[in-house]
Amino acid sequence: MSIAVTEQPRLAALAAEANARLGRAHPLDVLRWAADEFGDGLCVASSMGDAVLPHLASRARPGIPIIFLDTGYHFAETIGMRDAVAATLPVTVLSIQPRRTVAEQDTDEGPRLFERDPDRCCALRKVAPLAGALAPYTAWAAGLRRDESETRRNIGVVEWDAKHGLVKLNPLANWTEDDVQAYIAEHGVLVNPLHYDGYESIGCAPCTARTAGGADARAGRWAGSTKTECGLHV
């Protein structure tokens, strides 16, 4: 089910109004507004780098769906995080897989597509699966922050996502890394252990490297190439 085209202008206007009103609000307040506004039409997407957004979302709406894109290329630690979040938080984790397995993709596209054409690999294993997973919803939340990279400097707390035809929330947009760490410490939030091994931004294992001290938080993603985003948020 997708939102009717005739309904989209109203939702786009709602997103603009909410962003103006909630632009400096605490992430929990943003999520509580969305839970009240959209009810079962709200979901969260998480890469399982940490459980900050799932934890906040569970406080706003217990049982909320958490979409995890199981690309087939994740670190074992990330899969462990997914399972730990499902086991310890009052959320419903939905593990979404691409249409083809890695082996099937290798047969059809050739091995190591992530090296030869990372944009196409992301499109097949992340972008298309997310689009399908979001279809039943009216709004979704992601864990993007403005301090993560130049490409995210201007994100809104509430936006109209024209690509998916949905309201999009970035509740953590205003938070810094210090804010995230303070929330983790205060609430005992789960953290992917790779963060303690030099990985500041964690994606698929073949395309994620440790980050040098002082570098952009996402510098370890597709290191050595001009690619900076997988396509989920652009």
Structure tokens at 82: 């997914």
CA atoms within 13 A on the CB side of 59: 13
Dihedral over alpha carbons 218, 146, 73, 209 (to 10 degrees): 10
CA atoms of 98 and 84, how far apart (whole Å): 22
CA atoms of 192 and 70, how far apart (whole Å): 15
Per-residue model confidence as pLDDT tens digits over 57-92: 999 999 999 999 999 999 999 999 999 999 999 999
Structure tokens at 152: 């995210």
Contact (CB, 8 A) for 141 and 170? yes
pLDDT band at 200 (very low <50, low <70, confident <90, very high): confident
230 counts as catalytic: yes
pLDDT band at 209 (very low <50, low <70, confident <90, very high): confident
CA atoms within 13 A on the CB side of 225: 15
Other CB atoms within a 10 A radius of the CB of residue 229 amount to: 15
Please give the residue that has the higher pLDDT: either 29 or 213: 29
Q: Can you list the domains of the chain with their CATH numbers?
A: 5-196 (3.40.50.620)
Per-residue model confidence as pLDDT tens digits over 133-147: 999 999 999 999 998
CA atoms of 14 and 18, how far apart (whole Å): 6
Contact (CB, 8 A) for 14 and 167? yes
Contact (CB, 8 A) for 217 and 177? yes
List, as one string, the DSSP characters of 59-105: HHSTT-EEEEE--S-B-HHHHHHHHHHHHHSSSEEEEE--SS-HHHH
CA atoms of 165 and 5, how far apart (whole Å): 8
Which pLDDT score, from 0 to 100, does residue 67 have?
98
What's the pTM? Answer: 0.90
Residue type at 40 in one-letter notation:
D
Per-residue pLDDT, averaged over 182-188, amounts to 98
pLDDT band at 112 (very low <50, low <70, confident <90, very high): very high
- 31-50 in b/e form (b: 16+ CB < 10 A) is bbbbbebbeebbbbbbbbbb
| DSSP structure class, residue 160 | E
Choosing from 121, 122, 204, 230, the catalytic residue is 230
Q: Which helix (H) or strand (E) holds 186?
A: helix 177-187
